[in-house]
Amino acid sequence: MRRSILASALLLCTALPLQAATPTTIPDAALKTADTLRAQALADDTGWKVTESLTTEVGPRLAGSEADARAVAWAQAKFKELGFDKVWTEPVTFPKWERRSENAQVTGAHAQPLVVTALGGSAGGTVEAQIVRFPDLAALQAAPEGSLAGKIAFVDFQMQKKLDGGDYRYGGGIRGRGPSEAIKKGALGFLMRSAGTTPHRVVNTGITRYEAGLTPIPAAAVSIPDADQLARLVKLGPVTVKLALDCGWDGEATSYNVIGEITGRSKPKEIVLTGGHLDSWDLGTGAIDDAAGIGISMAAAHLVAKQRPARTIRVVAFANEEQGLYGGQAYAKAHAKEIKQHVIAAESDFGAGHIYAFDSNAADHAKGAIEAIAGALKPLDVAHKPGTGDPESDIGPMAQLGMTWAFLGHDGTNYFDLHHNADDTLDKIDPKDLAQNVAAYAVFLYLASEAKGDFGSTPKAAPAKPGH
């Protein structure tokens, strides 16, 4: 999940006056080693094996669940098995949400079941009411006050496939803000067309939030074929839906950021940070979201370790990204005073599609080094695309504190076929793409660790609450 390009530009601009003038460079010897590393990574299946292991042995791992605790133990064991020099955990506490059961059906003359899933964070409850269809969030927002009294709002917006997954701003926006908008208009329940692009009968969940002061209503998504069906039925006359969700918040849970380090040979206190998030939604096995990120970052660091990198490579398996970047925020809170030590960071949390773009908000004096890294990524068919990237989800809070980030952009064309739905399983990952991802991360991590000079990480003012 990305913040806007504007926000990134601002981060870049405000960082400029603070940078030193000595240009950061990448030694030629390191670039040669990167060639070796790239070839090794493309022929290596560590990334696949790690991803397979997490998705198979743990499976779905909703934050705060029993499986989430198993995932934490799994990550510690896996770091050790892969020979990381240091492995530890840092606690992350958050409200616990549970999905118990969910179903919905059209009632009346065209009675039939619907394939639905509760949005994460939804209130439980059973409502039966006429649906009112809106083509998008703006239409719902434009509905007169009170016009949905006794009704269920149905926002029927279809995301389109995009290389950068850009339509998620609309689909994710409906999921996040739709329920609150529906409550404001008086609705008893909220339904939305799945924030995804799959024509199959699986439904994309994901967190929603009710604005303070509103009384939460049951909020769910329907699969795309079911949304098509509702849209056809609405054309025939009034449609009544019964939505029954048994889910809700249940106290607090504590999980853990699991951290593994390859200690740097000459600058052990300087950190090149990477990772992914360990938790997943509960419907699939969290393969592209984000076992792949865990697999890519663990495997890349593992391969880099064999080259004995100058700086420390730190891999963080972040806790509870899905419900509000809790792991990323806890990490930023715990390490707020170590911004300068975090030389640069890149997280993988956008699946396992081919990495096609590289970008960074590195300071001007490090542009040459960034270009050298981009050059080393080029044989992997990764283009240098300044201005296109953002820090991924969990490193966002540290980036807001001034940590320099890099962006390795995955092809997201098919990402929302799988994102947060039951189809997010291992078989959807192409092992060749995953190996390319590992190679790109290995090259980046190694060269960043070998760079002579920094990338501009500099403490800034306290962060605004990040979006997610």
Binding site for a copy of itself (CB under 8 A): 52, 56-60, 66-67, 70, 106, 109-113, 115, 198-202, 224-225, 228-229, 232-233, 236, 282, 284-285, 422-423, 425-428
439, 38 contact by CB (below 8 A): yes
Supply the minimum distance, in Å, between the C-beta of residue 148 and a copy of itself.
25
Residue whose CB is less far from a copy of itself, 200 or 209: 200
Residue whose CB is less far from a copy of itself, 58 or 380: 58
199, 159 contact by CB (below 8 A): no
Supply the minimum distance, in Å, between the C-beta of residue 282 and a copy of itself.
8
Cα–Cα distances in Å, from 23 out to 19, 20, 247, 399? 10, 8, 55, 21
Residue whose CB is less far from a copy of itself, 158 or 361: 158
Supply the minimum distance, in Å, between the C-beta of residue 287 and a copy of itself.
9
Contacts of 465 (CB under 8 A, 6+ apart): none
Contacts of 245 (CB under 8 A, 6+ apart): 101, 102, 118, 122, 123, 124, 125, 126, 218, 220
Residue whose CB is less far from a copy of itself, 431 or 467: 431
Residue whose CB is less far from a copy of itself, 28 or 66: 66
Beta bridge partners of 272: 313, 344
Helix orientation angle between 292-305 and 66-81, rounded to the nearest 10 degrees: 20
Distance in angstroms (rounded) separating the CA atoms of residues 277 and 377: 24
Supply the minimum distance, in Å, between the C-beta of residue 191 and a copy of itself.
17
Nearest to 222 by CA among 113, 329, 322: 113
Residue whose CB is less far from a copy of itself, 115 or 152: 115
Supply the minimum distance, in Å, between the C-beta of residue 288 and a copy of itself.
13
Residue whose CB is less far from a copy of itself, 54 or 262: 54
Residue with tokens 């934490």: 72
Contacts of 220 (CB under 8 A, 6+ apart): 102, 104, 116, 117, 118, 119, 122, 189, 190, 191, 192, 243, 245
Supply the minimum distance, in Å, between the C-beta of residue 427 and a copy of itself.
5
The strand order across the sheet containing 406-410 reads: 383-384, 355-360, 406-410
Supply the minimum distance, in Å, between the C-beta of residue 276 and a copy of itself.
20
